[in-house]
Amino acid sequence: MCNDHHGLEQARNLAAAAGSPLNRRLFLGGAAAAAVGGFALLTAGPAAAATSQNGWPASTTLPLSTLTVGAVTFPQGVRSGAPHTILGYVARRFNNEVETLRKGECWGYNFRTISGSSSYSNHASGTAIDVNAPEHFLGASGTFSAAQVRAIRSILAACDGVVRWGGDYSTRKDEMHFELNRGPSDPAVAALARKLGGSSSTPAPAPTSPTWRVVRRGQQGYYVVALQRLLRQHGRTLTVDGVFGSGTEAQVIGFQRSRGLVADGIVGAKTWTALQVTRQEGSRGHAVFGIQHCVSVKGFRTTQDGIFGPGTKSVVIAFQRSKGLAADGVVGPRTWAALVA
Ligand SMILES: [Zn+2]
């Protein structure tokens, strides 16, 4: 767990920039919290008026939602609504693009004050997460490679200034730490949550059709393996080598003709939809090999034996959670589309 010394830095920044009503309120809130004193009072007393450094209510009775990404469930979750959507997005992309999250090394909501201060940590409002804490410990800098930092920058850029990384603190770094740095009434928070597919206050909206990767001759990779396995599942004869050559193309065209699809050899949404088959615990065969290959490549390792057993089911559930899909362990069109994405 980070010690959130940076909350103090944030308070100073807010004091310096106390031009806006939000910033003034935040700073006064911090000062009031400091005035009432120590940790015992904060945990024992009424917390209704308290806010953490970023202006979100800090209390022992917050609405919290479970946050599970990959193999990790963040203890106590994070604040429901927009913070859950936004921090979940950050954690999923971190897990997929920066570093696999590790069990027991990630933290979310925690009702506590900042170390060395009586102000509330942003963890106390459920609006901050720590990821792989032991490797990126408080005060250390340079714990990520240049490529990892580029990936973190890409995630932050997608968050439109709403998320701040502890590695960007000007004084003592906290590279494990990501937090919302806008208050609950800032319209940028709700706008970002909507953009990321959640709502500012309610669960995700009605699902739309899955988006499928378009695959054609000349490509290679795990998604071509999945394609070749699905073609085999439909009784077509070809080598499963992950390379989309002329042999694979001929089989795609044959499959498309058999289904009355445009026979162009290009695998888009219509062809994928016709190819995919629902698979679940107890299933066996080529499609299961394809599922096991894709989840393994994406960091959810499982035995690739073509048998959909309990182990495959658990990694499928973990994969579904990481993508914000219904985590039921059943591989249908949405999960297939995410597997080959
Ligand atoms: Zn933290």
Strands (E), 243-287: none
Distances in whole angstroms, Cα of residue 261 to Cα of each of 8, 253, 257, 274: 62, 9, 6, 9
Token pair of 233 as six digits: 């599942």
Q: What is the pLDDT of residue 113?
A: 86
For ligand 1, the distance from its centroid to the CA atom of residue 41, given in whole angstroms, is: 22
Q: Which fold has domain 222-339?
A: Muramoyl-pentapeptide Carboxypeptidase; domain 1 (1.10.101)
Domain ranges (residues) in the chain:
6-195, 222-339
CA 265 from centre of chain? 34
240-265: b (≥16 Cβ within 10 Å) or e = bebbbeeebbebbbbbbeeeebeeeb
Tens of pLDDT along 214-271? Answer: 999 999 999 999 999 999 999 999 999 999 999 999 999 999 999 999 999 999 999 9
Residues with CB under 5 A from ligand 1 (ion): 2, 130, 177
**β-strands 128-130, 78-79 pairing:** unpaired
Along the chain (341 residues), what's the average pLDDT of each consecutive run of 10 residues?
Answer: 52 38 33 33 46 93 92 93 96 94 95 83 96 94 94 96 96 95 95 80 54 96 98 96 97 96 95 95 96 95 94 95 89 95 96
Nearest Cα neighbor of 203 from 90, 84, 93, 317 is 84
The confidence score (pLDDT) of residue 212 equals 95
- Return the pLDDT at 236: 96
Q: Ligand 1 centre from 138 Cα, in Å?
A: 9
Tell me: the pLDDT tens digits for 80-94?
999 999 999 999 999
* 325 CA from centroid of ligand 1 (Å): 27
Per-residue model confidence (pLDDT) at position 117? 81
Residue 209 is predicted with a pLDDT of 78
Q: Would the pTM count as exceeding 0.85? A: no
The SS3 call for residue 79 is strand
**Three-state helix/strand/coil letters over 139-168:** CCCCCCCHHHHHHHHHHHHHCCCCEEEHHH
CA of 129 to the centre of ligand 1 (A): 6
CA of 104 to the centre of ligand 1 (A): 14
CA of 209 to the centre of ligand 1 (A): 37
